[in-house]
Amino acid sequence: MTEKEKMLKGEYYNPQDPTLVHLRDNADNLMNQYNHPGGGDKGQLLDMLFGYHVEGLSIRAPFFCDYGINIRVGRNFYANHNCVFLDVAKITIGDDVLLGPNVSLITVNHPIDPEKRRQKLEYGKPITIGDNVWIGADVTVNPGVTIGENSVIGSGSVVVKDVPANTVAAGNPCKVIRAIEAE
């Protein structure tokens, strides 16, 4: 099994594998163009980074990710300035999702075992965000988290566990504050 296959299966992998380094370098080149004023057609650069076209996609520069190709976003996605998506595992985002500035979606993790850490091994767990979610400024979403549709995550939260649909959640660690009811 290749290191990329291990990475995508959530197993320990070597991030210094030449194929993975090449893929990250490609993403870095596209992001450097995207983040540079006058660096080219922003929509076309995102299409190349993600490997597909998204209707209504808006990501404010600067934007950073590991690979880009492991990110799937729905229609009408908006991310404010300085978002970071560490996409060693799949990041799946629904339609009509809004992210405030400085939001980090982190799928990569490092071993607790110090010997494995010395070996520079990593593993990833996917993040899933449902339709119509709003994530406030300065939020970190940790590996393996699912945020249910229509939910709101308050600014400054650190999301370490799943958040159910139709709830408002906030804090460090992030906890459900209340249900969202129709007005």
State residue 181's pLDDT score.
83
Question: Mean of the pLDDT values across residues 34-42?
Answer: 86
State residue 183's pLDDT score.
63
Q: How many Cα atoms are found within 13 Å in the side-chain-facing hemisphere of 111? A: 14
Determine which helix (DSSP H) or strand (DSSP E) holds 105, and give its type and residue range: strand 104-106
Nearest to 10 by CA among 88, 93, 112, 100: 88
- What's the mean pLDDT when you consider all of the chain? 96
Question: Mean of the pLDDT values across residues 2-18?
Answer: 96
The class level of CATH for 3-179 reads: mainly beta
The 3-state DSSP class for residue 118 equals helix
Report the percentage of the chain scoring pLDDT > 90. Answer: 94
Question: Mean of the pLDDT values across residues 100-119?
Answer: 95
Q: What contacts 35, CB < 8 A, 6 or more positions away?
A: 61, 62, 63
- When mean pLDDT is compared across 57-71, 145-159, 169-183, the lowest value belongs to 169-183
Q: Provide the pLDDT confidence category of residue 38 given band limits of 50, 70 and 90.
A: confident
Residue 144 has pLDDT above 70, yes or no: yes
pLDDT in tens, 47-96: 999 999 999 999 999 999 999 999 999 999 999 999 999 999 999 999 99
81 is catalytic: no
Which position among 22, 36, 53, 110 bears the catalytic label?
110
Residue 126 has pLDDT above 90, yes or no: yes
Residues 67 and 27: beta-carbon distance below 8 Å? yes
Residue 120 has pLDDT above 70, yes or no: yes
Residue 45 has pLDDT above 70, yes or no: yes
Residues 137 and 103: beta-carbon distance below 8 Å? yes
